[in-house]
Structure 1
Amino acid sequence: MLNLYIYSFFMILMFIIFFFYSIFLNLLNFSFMLEWMLFNLNSINVEFFILIDWVACLFISVVMMISSMIMLYSSIYMGNEIYLNRFIILLNFFILSMILMIISPNLISILFGWDGLGLISYCLVIFYQNYLSFNSGMVTILCNRIGDIGLLMTIGMMSFLGSWSMYFLNKDFLLILMMILLASITKSAQLPFSSWLPMAMAAPTPISALVHSSTLVTAGVYLMIRFSKFFESNLIISKILFYSSIFTMFMAGLMANFEIDLKKIIALSTLSQLGLMMMILSLGFSMLSFFHLLIHAIFKSLLFMCAGIMIHLMDNNQDIRFSGNLNKYIPFTMMSFYISNLSLMGFPFLSGFYSKDLIMELIYLMDINMFLLVMILLSLMFTISYSLRLFYFIFFSSMKNKSFNYYEENMLMNLSMLILMMLSLFSGSLMMWLFFFNDYFLFMNIFIKLITMIMMILGVMIGYSMVMKNFMNLYVLSYFFSSMWFLNYMYVWNYKFFLIFSLKFYMLDKSWIEFVGKNLLLNVIKKMMIYLNLYKIFMFIFLIFFLLIMFYF
């Protein structure tokens, strides 16, 4: 327990140092690049880079601050956990991997932090070691490995260029940029790789507060922000990212209106906000995306902390239909939840308003297809509606839970939430004036400016109709919209051939091949030939693709 307090104090100290250092670097417009050569291979230098600028220092300060509050929170929340030491070690390695990824501008050095995030996130998701955790952890790591393969293929292809530094890359090199895009959208759970993010809720709540606010899911967005100058001139990549992010926002917002699991609703709101960051990033406003990333990290970690206390109060029940009138029992937690959720909605002059309102105003000024603009506005309305629906079930409905665990609020947990609550109130204006004020100055018609407020009012009406008219009781709608639109079944359908094929090889490899009977071996060879005949078209496509790559290089 003492270790958690020591780590928390150390991280608060690091937060103060890095925050003031980021202000210093921003004012001077100054940055440092450190370089170490690991070894030399065939005239290619395998180098380890560290980039220290105001973006990296500011992001590290936010990660440190949230991590320190989560350490304080965990000292009470996980106080009776048998494997507390394992939890602390994994948490520290996770934070270290994220910091390593933040300060890395080079693909080789990024890979250390990137793979560390993927591996330790798997260990954290399966922390409770039950069937649901193992299943969720496997989906999480397999989806993330697709992005890791994209990063590894990028490193392999850039070996042809003589350097692994992206800053020596030709901006028109489409294939490498496509692989980096694949890595980013898998780590940040954009469509069609979205199903792992709600399933990762099997992790303990402090882990969810860290993973789904400022570390794992934001790694893909941060990678795109770092390399944004390569994607701005490439219309194909920008369009792919733009469409994927809008449909991710729409899907997550619509699903959250039908979801009944408290932690999954907050996870889907994370998915919706990640779609918003990717959308504005694809339009070329990388610093605005970074602004919303920082603000979102603060209020989302507070939301998860409040959710953890509510789940304890409800005797480990996460179904929002059984909760109600919780403000009588945990008033400070409910106040924190209320403020952080209003910040998520973009309520005027809370922290989320400064980034979300600026994003929507820039969207109105862009030349965007009307259908996509309607999708963006509907996603904005869904954010309001599922937040108000959550308010209704937690604050205003009557409690229906048969078992109730009386919980007295702890002062240390309240302290950690109080600091995050104050930042949810003031961090938007603080960062706007310190870092982002000179970047964006917009002037527009008052009627265009009021579109966002009108959409918010319509979102209130949708939220009211969702609760009062009981749309969520329609089983067909509820089943479809709360099942990630059957993305998991799509994965099974795609992987079916590979699973069957690998099973045949596994059965062959399990026995000694030299002692296998002649007839059995012939049957296996025949079946393999059948598979090859069925799928030779894919082999032909692969060969053509490989030859094109060779000629391209």
Structure 2
Amino acid sequence: MCSVSFFVLFMFSLTCFFFSMNFMMTDFVLFIEWEVISMNSLSVVMTFLLDWMSCIFMSFVLLISSLVIFYSKEYMQEDYKINRFILLVLMFVSSMMLLIISPNLISILLGWDGLGLVSYCLVIYFQNVKSYNAGMLTALSNRVGDVALLLAIAWMLNYGGWNYIFYLEFFKNCNEMVIIGCLIVLAAMTKSAQIPFSSWLPAAMAAPTPVSALVHSSTLVTAGVYLLIRFNVLLECTWMGNFLLLLSGLTMFMSGLGANYEFDLKSIIALSTLSQLGLMMSILSMGFYKLAFFHLLTHALFKALLFMCAGAIIHNMNNSQDIRLMGGLSLMMPLTSSCFNVANLALCGMPFLAGFYSKDLILEMVSFSYMNFFSFFLFFFSTGLTVCYSFRLVYYGMTSDSNFSSLNFLNDEGWVMLSSMMGLLIFSIFGGSMLSWLIFPTPLLILLPFYLKMLTLIVCLIGGLSGYLVSNISIFFFNKSLNNYNMSYFLGCMWFMPYISTYGIMNYSLNMGQVVVKSFDQGWSEYFGGSKIYYNLVKNSQFNQILQNNNLKIYLLSFIFWFMILYLFLINM
């Protein structure tokens, strides 16, 4: 089933890519309306929007999912129910496809909820307590966004339809659209894990690694960014753009700091995803939606490769994810290490890999734009932190002394996993330049002073050096993070957001829900509702049964009783 799914998805990916090229060159948009049912004045219609943006995004999602499924053939080979896993992944991809091509809020909700439901099934796939807790945190966090989307659907009923694509120009001049804008931004923030909904993203690492590669590259977490790209007019014309810029900048900063204190391999890569999502959201909130989309596509390529390499390393390390127990992997697993380092350098934005073309352009546009110093600092310092934790990861995993158990058998012999990684390696190198020629056919010329032009490169070099050297020094000479344990704990725990989400908000809300159920559903409403009706019915039926027993005394007594009442009534008249 893996091979068939891989082939079908790969062919669909190529088809979507050629369609997107055609639509881009001819400036063509295909709007398909399919009437499901028509009865009297009721018409249920399914609509699809195919333009260059939706087709090229579908192409990338299908390409990555096909390689992930092929990778799973070897990674999940010991799973007896691998076909069930593949079906879940295909349902996940189908939900994302529905979300991408929908210009209608109701069909978007179908894909949106499909992503949430199937992601819960995939997070709890290994069926242990940690997976169940992570799945519940993921599902409940995303339900907030689902409710916001439902409220937006209810509010759009005022305008006579849910095809938001028809109202984009109307959004610019209507003050009432701020309400819909706030709800859409809230939904996108929950799905793309912006502050204060960031805690579910590292928790979702309980899923199998192929799922993490799919979720963190092109499906679940990018759904919120893609939704806001479609609704980009709302951010340009209202105060919500500035509000989102602040929150996404803080998300970028917080996740970059947290990754430098983390020792779990998959959690570090998850926090790097959170950092890049903050970068996409922040540049989107400034009005550069094409740049955000460009970085969304390039990020998908190297992030999927990064997770695939992490999965191969975890497999060879006997399922250990602690980077302190690694070291010297470049000698034992040269091909995997090469792919891992290329993906890491693309994440850092090193010239001339995929991430460089989008990240450098974003930072140059930030330098070119009218912006306060705080947001400017968050952009560049977070970029430095990205390079810092990437080189820290390289030190712990690749170049330091071997710290793993002598029983580990490290090799590069899994050709299925390697071939899928090599496919993504090519895209991680050439994908950025290819996409920049396609999306921006006219080269962007950004004129900046020399020190601003070189600032991105200087920040990357300083971040990489500090990440590598501080890791080296902290192991052999001193560990400053232990001298200031409280601050390290605060920064490494994502500013205590997981504790606030679980022990605080969710624990409180679940306890309140229990009180409400006990007091109302199983309390007053039960006593005066179902239980009271049942009690009265039983009592009356028992009395009726006594009457039905044909007892002559009862008939005589009742006859005398009613006769006396009638007699007294006649006398009084």
**Would you call these one fold, judging by a TM-score over 0.5?**
yes
Q: 1:131 to 1:161 in 2, by over 3 A?
A: same
- Residue pairs, 1:496-511, within 5 angstroms: 497-508=508-519
Is the 8 Å Cα contact of residues 395 and 468 (structure 2) preserved in structure 1? no
Look up the equivalent residue of 1:112 and give its one-letter code: L
Look up the equivalent residue of 2:131 and give its one-letter code: S
Q: State whether structure 2 residue 23 is matched by structure 1 residue 25.
A: yes
Q: 1:499 to 1:10 in 2, by over 3 A?
A: closer
Q: State whether structure 2 residue 463 is matched by structure 1 residue 452.
A: no
Look up the equivalent residue of 1:149 and give its one-letter code: V
Q: State whether structure 2 residue 61 is matched by structure 1 residue 51.
A: no
Is the 8 Å Cα contact of residues 312 and 407 (structure 1) preserved in structure 2? no
Aligned to 1:359: 362
What runs of 5+ residues in structure 1 fail to find an aligned partner? Answer: 522-553
Q: Could you tell me how far 1:240 is from its partner in structure 2?
A: 1.2
After superposition, the C-alpha distances for 1:126-155 in whole angstroms (9 at most, x for unaligned) are 000000000000000101110000100000
Look up the equivalent residue of 1:146 and give its one-letter code: V
Q: Could you tell me how far 1:448 is from its partner in structure 2?
A: 1.6
Is the 8 Å Cα contact of residues 343 and 351 (structure 1) preserved in structure 2? yes
- Residue pairs, 1:85-164, within 5 angstroms: 85-164=83-162
Structure 1 vs Structure 2: percent identity of aligned residues? 46
Q: State whether structure 2 residue 194 is matched by structure 1 residue 183.
A: no
Q: 1:323 to 1:28 in 2, by over 3 A?
A: same
Aligned to 1:335: 338
Is the 8 Å Cα contact of residues 48 and 108 (structure 1) preserved in structure 2? no
Q: 1:439 to 1:144 in 2, by over 3 A?
A: farther
Q: Could you tell me how far 1:302 is from its partner in structure 2?
A: 0.3
Q: Could you tell me how far 1:497 is from its partner in structure 2?
A: 4.9
Q: Could you tell me how far 1:212 is from its partner in structure 2?
A: 0.7
After superposition, the C-alpha distances for 1:65-94 in whole angstroms (9 at most, x for unaligned) are 111111111000001112212101100000
- Residue pairs, 1:274-423, within 5 angstroms: 274-402=277-405, 404-408=407-411, 409-423=413-427
Q: State whether structure 2 residue 230 is matched by structure 1 residue 226.
A: yes
Look up the equivalent residue of 2:375 and give its one-letter code: L
Look up the equivalent residue of 1:457 and give its one-letter code: L
Q: Could you tell me how far 1:437 is from its partner in structure 2?
A: 3.2
Q: 1:434 aligns with which of 432, 438, 442?
A: 438
Aligned to 1:551: none
Look up the equivalent residue of 2:277 and give its one-letter code: L
| 2-structure distance, mates of 1:149, 1:511 | 26
- Residue pairs, 1:43-82, within 5 angstroms: 46-82=44-80
After superposition, the C-alpha distances for 1:156-214 in whole angstroms (9 at most, x for unaligned) are 11112211121343323111110000000100001110000000000000000000110
Look up the equivalent residue of 1:198 and give its one-letter code: P
Partner SS state of residue 47, structure 1: strand
| 2-structure distance, mates of 1:512, 1:358 | 61
Partner SS state of residue 216, structure 1: coil
| 1-structure distance, mates of 2:184, 2:288 | 18
Partner SS state of residue 232, structure 1: helix
Q: Could you tell me how far 1:407 is from its partner in structure 2?
A: 3.9
Partner SS state of residue 36, structure 1: strand
Q: 1:395 to 1:514 in 2, by over 3 A?
A: closer
Is the 8 Å Cα contact of residues 520 and 526 (structure 2) preserved in structure 1? no
| 2-structure distance, mates of 1:263, 1:42 | 55
| 1-structure distance, mates of 2:449, 2:288 | 22
Q: 1:74 to 1:514 in 2, by over 3 A?
A: closer
Q: 1:311 to 1:350 in 2, by over 3 A?
A: same
Partner SS state of residue 237, structure 2: coil
Moved >4 Å (runs of 4+): 38-46, 508-517
Look up the equivalent residue of 1:422 and give its one-letter code: I
- Residue pairs, 1:232-243, within 5 angstroms: 232-234=236-238, 236-243=239-246
Q: In angstroms, what is the RMSD of aligned CA positions?
A: 2.1
Question: Which structure: larger Rg?
Answer: 2
Paired positions, count: 515
Greater mean alpha carbon deviation, residues 480-489 or residues 132-141 = 480-489
Aligned to 2:492: 482
TM-score, normalised with respect to structure 1? 0.89
Aligned to 1:541: none
Look up the equivalent residue of 2:309 and give its one-letter code: C
Look up the equivalent residue of 2:349 and give its one-letter code: G
| 2-structure distance, mates of 1:241, 1:42 | 44
| 1-structure distance, mates of 2:526, 2:261 | 57
| 1-structure distance, mates of 2:274, 2:374 | 21
Q: Could you tell me how far 1:24 is from its partner in structure 2?
A: 1.0
Greater mean alpha carbon deviation, residues 469-478 or residues 23-32 = 469-478
Partner SS state of residue 339, structure 2: helix
TM-score, normalised with respect to structure 2? 0.86
Is the 8 Å Cα contact of residues 317 and 410 (structure 2) preserved in structure 1? no
Is the 8 Å Cα contact of residues 25 and 31 (structure 1) preserved in structure 2? yes
- Residue pairs, 1:29-44, within 5 angstroms: 29-38=27-36
Q: 1:137 to 1:495 in 2, by over 3 A?
A: closer
| 1-structure distance, mates of 2:450, 2:524 | 77
Look up the equivalent residue of 1:396 and give its one-letter code: T
Aligned to 2:250: 247
Look up the equivalent residue of 2:324 and give its one-letter code: R
What runs of 5+ residues in structure 2 fail to find an aligned partner? Answer: 533-573
| 1-structure distance, mates of 2:506, 2:91 | 32
Q: 1:37 to 1:403 in 2, by over 3 A?
A: farther
Look up the equivalent residue of 1:504 and give its one-letter code: V
Partner SS state of residue 481, structure 1: helix
Aligned to 1:205: 209
Aligned to 2:465: 461
Greater mean alpha carbon deviation, residues 472-481 or residues 125-134 = 472-481
Is the 8 Å Cα contact of residues 44 and 163 (structure 1) preserved in structure 2? no
Is the 8 Å Cα contact of residues 259 and 478 (structure 1) preserved in structure 2? no
Q: 1:463 to 1:42 in 2, by over 3 A?
A: farther
Q: Could you tell me how far 1:472 is from its partner in structure 2?
A: 4.3
| 2-structure distance, mates of 1:324, 1:462 | 19
| 2-structure distance, mates of 1:39, 1:162 | 18
Q: Could you tell me how far 1:35 is from its partner in structure 2?
A: 1.3
Aligned to 1:193: 197
| 1-structure distance, mates of 2:212, 2:525 | 50
| 2-structure distance, mates of 1:272, 1:143 | 19
| 2-structure distance, mates of 1:190, 1:159 | 28
Q: Could you tell me how far 1:382 is from its partner in structure 2?
A: 0.2
Q: 1:275 to 1:42 in 2, by over 3 A?
A: farther
| 1-structure distance, mates of 2:248, 2:43 | 36
Q: Could you tell me how far 1:485 is from its partner in structure 2?
A: 1.1
| 1-structure distance, mates of 2:293, 2:524 | 56
Q: Could you tell me how far 1:515 is from its partner in structure 2?
A: 8.3
Q: Could you tell me how far 1:330 is from its partner in structure 2?
A: 1.3
| 2-structure distance, mates of 1:56, 1:375 | 31
Aligned to 2:548: none
Aligned to 1:258: 261
Is the 8 Å Cα contact of residues 294 and 439 (structure 2) preserved in structure 1? no
| 1-structure distance, mates of 2:207, 2:481 | 27
Greater mean alpha carbon deviation, residues 315-324 or residues 429-438 = 429-438
Q: 1:83 to 1:465 in 2, by over 3 A?
A: same
